Amino acid sequence: MITPEMAVREAAYWSGCWDALHWASTTLHPLYGGPFRAGLGGWGDRLHIQAAQLGERAQRGDLTAFQQQIEQFKRIQFANSEWLSNSTSNAPLEVQNASAEFLLNRNQFFKRYDAGAFDHLAQAPQADRDRFNNLIDALETCTHPKAGVQYLSQLETFARKISPTPSRRF
């Protein structure tokens, strides 16, 4: 059984891991192109906020889904390692560009997500919420730009289908 104190330490560890992504994005200029570094920095910032929020909840004694989030962080860390390994300036330019474009688009998607653009899905049937959450998990742990673009497209399409606002007719 994990205690709140243990959970706070674990969340702080992950916060440090995500700070390392931000460091890489601002420091490793010769190794990664500018757009990739920008995407990586934004991703690291988002993950850092998630870890900090997880730590805040742990301090309040709220350990709901704590272990699930830590397991997801581990999968995200593996995916990030793949991105860092496969997207260096030694990679073909098309790989570098596709990786950077995906990272930037994923960051934009999560900005909208965090701003509540998909909150209407909370009212959807459980099976739809589960499908959406599974796609979110896949997007967070994606290691290939083409697959990531597909996940983004599926998420957008799925959210529109479940939208409480009917499509406009002209």
Compute the distance between CA of residue 7 and CA of residue 24 in angstroms, rounded to an integer: 26
pTM of the model: 0.90
Compute the distance between CA of residue 80 and CA of residue 42 in angstroms, rounded to an integer: 13
pLDDT in tens, 43-88: 999 999 999 999 999 999 999 999 999 999 999 999 999 999 999 8
Confidence of residue 29 (pLDDT cuts 50, 70, 90): confident
Q: Which residues contact 53 (CB under 8 A, 6 or more apart)?
A: none
Q: Are 99 and 87 in contact (CB under 8 A)?
A: yes
DSSP-derived secondary structure for 112-131? HHHTTTTGGGGGS-HHHHHH
pLDDT in tens, 89-137: 899 999 999 999 999 999 999 999 999 999 988 889 999 999 999 999 9
The pLDDT score that the predictor gives to residue 165 is 60
Q: What are the tokens at 95? A: 């790989």
